[in-house]
């Protein structure tokens, strides 16, 4: 299975990014985690993106807050799919990061998840791998079944409590 690259702009992003890490870990999807900043370490971010495909990555998750240019800067240097996580790390509650991540110019796409949407970023990266990887597809199908079972159980509890 190809690896997922998980990149964040600062170690202050870790509390949210760890939810993506945990999701991939739980489903035994290989990954690497790095701190590269579009503004503070732009050369390292560029170098990672330029070589990501030959280094065995299948998709890249890039999380950043404030003026969040990381996902776009990574996407500029690779044709691998890039998933942006805008982070709520400022006085603007993440709306600044959301707009900075999602409003990409035509030609350089970034698939942007919700503010702090780290779990969905991990699941979306698995879905990207699952296009060509049957093992990842089976893991996702099992996860969907689990989610369905959880909601059915909650519904049964609510129905028992209020409808009988």
What is the binding site for ligand RP5 (CB under 6 A)? 9-10, 12-13, 37, 64-66, 87, 89
The least distance separating ligand RP5 from the CB of residue 39, rounded to whole angstroms, comes to 6
Give whichever of 11 and 134 is closer to ligand RP5, judged by the CB atom. 11
Tell me how far, at minimum, the Cβ of 71 lies from ligand RP5, in Å: 10
Residue 115 or 126 with smaller CB distance to ligand RP5: 115
Return d(Cα 52, Cα 140) in angstroms, integer.
24
Nearest distance, CB of residue 3 and ligand RP5, angstroms: 22
Q: What is the rounded CA–CA span in Å between residue 109 and residue 136?
A: 23
Handedness of CA 143, 151, 87, 21 (dihedral sign): negative
Minimum distance between the CB of residue 9 and ligand RP5, rounded to whole angstroms?
Answer: 3
Task: Judge contact between 77 and 51, C-beta under 8 A.
Answer: no
Residues 6+ apart with CB under 8 A from 39: 9, 67, 69
Structure tokens that stand for 62 in this block = 């890039």
Q: Which C-beta is closer to ligand RP5: that of 2 or that of 66?
A: 66
CA distances from residue 106 to 54, 61, 102 in whole angstroms, order as listed: 25, 20, 11
Q: Whole-angstrom Cα distance, residue 69 to residue 72?
A: 5
In whole angstroms, the minimum distance from the beta carbon of 66 to ligand RP5 comes to: 4
């Amino acid at each position: 299975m190809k690896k997922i690259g998980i990149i964040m702009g600062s170690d202050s992003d870790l509390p949210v990014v760890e939810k993506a890490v945990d999701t991939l870990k739980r489903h035994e999807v290989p990954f690497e985690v790095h701190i590269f900043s579009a503004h503070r370490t732009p050369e390292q971010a560029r170098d990672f993106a330029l070589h990501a495909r030959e280094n065995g990555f299948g998709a890249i998750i890039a999380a950043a807050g404030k003026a969040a240019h990381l996902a776009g800067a990574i996407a500029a240097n690779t044709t691998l799919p890039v998933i942006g996580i805008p982070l709520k790390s400022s006085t603007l509650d993440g709306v600044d990061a959301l707009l900075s991540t999602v409003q990409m110019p035509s030609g350089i796409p970034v698939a942007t998840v919700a503010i702090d949407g780290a779990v969905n970023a991990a699941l979306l990266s698995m879905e990207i791998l699952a296009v060509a990887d049957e093992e990842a597809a089976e893991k996702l199908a099992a996860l969907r079944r689990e989610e369905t079972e959880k909601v059915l159980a909650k519904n049964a509890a609510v129905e028992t409590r209020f409808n009988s």
